[in-house]
Amino acid sequence: MPKSTTTVAQHLLNRVAQMGAAHVIGVPGDFSFPITDAACVHPEMKWVGCCNELNAAYMADGYARVRGIGVLTTTFGVGELSALNGIAGAFAERVPVVHLVGMPATSTQALRAIVHHTLGDGDFGAWAGMSSRISCASALLTMDNAVAEIERCLNAAAAHSQPVYIGIPADVAETPLSNSSLPQIRQPLRSNPASDHDALHAAAEEILERIANSRRTCILVGSIVARLGLRKQTTDFVEASGLPFATMWMDKSILDETHPQHCGMYSGSLANDQVREFVESSDLVINLGAILSDLNTGIYTAKLDRMRCITIMRNTTTIAAAAYRDVHMSDLLRILCVGCKRAPKKSSWPSIQGLGAPQGDPEGPIASPFLFPSIEQFMRTGDMIFAETGTISMGLLSARMPRGADFMNQALWGSVGWAVPAGIGGALADQMRRTVIVTGEGAHQFSPQELGTASRMGLNPIIIVVNNSGYLTERILCRDPEMQYNDVQPWNYSALPEAMGCAGWKSTRVQTCSQFAEALAAASHHGNGTYIEVMVPRDDLPPFGKSIRNFLHSMRGVQVVNHPPERPLEALTSARYMA
């Protein structure tokens, strides 16, 4: 017979499982044992222990991007504070992570006892207060409010697609609840309340009229579309309208890049002049969920006249200078799909070229003209690509993703070291798809420990570590690229998988174009994880990186010729790089 009671911790895990989570990611601690104990025995959830809480938060972020919800658990104080950077990134980039924090028992808190993981001042609410700023909802559970507060927080995570914080005292976590008193919800939570009827239909009517009267219209498809689970509805609108769409840095591959109406990546004046001219000369630009950040707008070089723009976000639509509140994107897309008539093609738009064939001497060094086109050709249908935000993403920005492939980076928060643990979280979330992670060696030093976690969980990612002898993105951004803070200690990176216990993984270091091509070919057929360290010239930049460097130099009045010359292959074969 089924049990007549369920503990608070069990009920909470039941609810996140109903929302689509299948794993609880985190680091154990004495105050959080009731949560981790419940996770280890839960019939629908698996416990995933990480090496530290920051990595765990990154993993939960990557997991949630793929699965729609991620669950992170940490202990009170030391554990939750270590995770805050990762949670802040999820908040900024609209990723729904449920952060479960095990707290001291309510009796301990009532006594204001001086216990470990506190400041010794009897204050047990300080850390929750910190987290509330980077959570769309937060709660401290009690025996009386647990069920209601769990529902409120999970509804908020679904509605806003952002993290929520749930603090659970150890005794509350183990409190039994009568099953007859629990909400009988078997479906994922609905993300939005109803739109304001009048505002919704007024906005839709004006948008349809502007599209009908426009000579040239372009849609910018943004990441909010993916976060709200509206990719299909957005594709339906694109196809119903017959309008071309472009994407920006943060939004790459939100819609299928092989779609005939995709006209490329828009990055202001820093890349893709054809796309820039097309977007900026359009008399109507529909911004569907794109955040106009510095990187998305090509360091604010994008020229978008707001009087010619329609901006559709989660629950607000702005048409020129008029704003329509409580108009939810999902409802508006539904009406637009029905009301939009596919007009004859009024104008041509740029075609997608991709990066082209790899260019390089087979026995020569692996520079950007070979590196990034080779990675583009390596990608296949349905892949998940996690890219570090700096020069790695710059190099892959104009790569054409295969059908069904997802390109993920952290272009707003931009936390160095995100890609590897986030990619492992993504691989955990969908183990039927191939996961490719591309990072730089400097970023990799922030979070290499989770290679072992990937192996322990039976995951088989393909990890490409681009070794360019330091922080190349910082060399672009700072005034003097030769400053010593841009150097990092050389590691024997290709030895890391073995050191981390990654049994069966294939690891190699490559220094020439032919070696890299052979390593990628081998990775396509290797059944276990693959790790490739790619040696490249120290100052080699992809075209977009050069555009950013030149733009920043021009702003500072510095001549580009003063930039250090790119290093030859001999520099890569010096003793410091030998195994």
Q: Check if the beta carbon of residue 90 is closer than 8 Å to that of residue 25.
A: no
How high is the pLDDT of residue 191? 54
- Name residue, tokens 């005794």: 171
What's the pLDDT score for residue 3? 63
Could you state, in order of their start, the residue ranges of all structural domains in the chain?
5-181, 197-339, 368-577
Letter for the amino acid at 405?
A: A
Torsion angle (degrees, nearest 10) of CA 197, 198, 201, 205: 180
Q: What is the DSSP letter of 308?
A: G
Identify the pLDDT of residue 352: 86
Q: Is 56 helix (H, G, I), strand (E, B) or coil?
A: helix
The reply to whether 197-339 and 368-577 are identical in fold is: yes
Do 445 and 491 form a contact (C-beta atoms < 8 A)? Answer: yes
**Per-residue pLDDT at 192:** 62
Report the alpha-carbon distance of residue 204 to residue 161 in Å, rounded.
Answer: 24
Residue 207 amino acid letter: I
Question: What topology does CATH give the domain 5-181?
Answer: Rossmann fold (3.40.50)
Q: What is the CATH number of domain 197-339?
A: 3.40.50.1220
Q: 482-491 long-range contacts, Cβ below 8 Å, gap at least 24? A: 482/564, 488/441, 488/442, 488/445, 489/445, 490/576, 490/577, 491/441, 491/445
* CA–CA distance, 341 with 239 (Å, rounded to integer): 10
Angstrom distance (rounded) from CA 199 to CA 203: 6
Residue with tokens 């808190």: 109
- What residue type is assigned to position 51 of the chain? C
- Tokens representing residue 9 in the block: 């911790």
Which spans in 492-577 are helix H? Answer: 496-499, 513-523, 543-556, 569-572
Task: Write the DSSP symbol of residue 313.
Answer: -
CATH 3.40.920.10 corresponds to the domain 368-577: no
127's CB contacts (< 8 A; 6+ apart) are 76, 77, 80, 81, 101
Low-confidence ranges of the chain (pLDDT < 50): 1, 188, 560-579
Q: Answer whether 102's CB lies under 8 Å from 117's CB.
A: no
Q: Could you tell me the two tokens for 270? A: 């820093």
Question: Tens digits of per-residue pLDDT, 20-31?
Answer: 999 999 999 999
Tell me 152's DSSP state: H
Contact 127, 45 (CB under 8 A): no
pLDDT score of 314: 94
The sheet with strand 262-265 has its strands ordered as: 262-265, 245-247, 217-221, 284-288, 309-312, 316-319, 322-325
pLDDT of the residue at 4:
67
CA separation for the pair 194, 145 (Å, rounded)? 26
Q: In the structure encoding, which two tokens stand for residue 515, read together?
A: 């070696």
Nearest alpha-carbon partner for 61 in 84, 35, 78: 84
**What tokens does 489 get?**
């200690």
Predicted structure pTM score: 0.92
pLDDT digits (tens, 9 = 90+) for 531-562: 999 999 998 988 888 888 888 878 777 654 44
pLDDT at position 40, please?
97
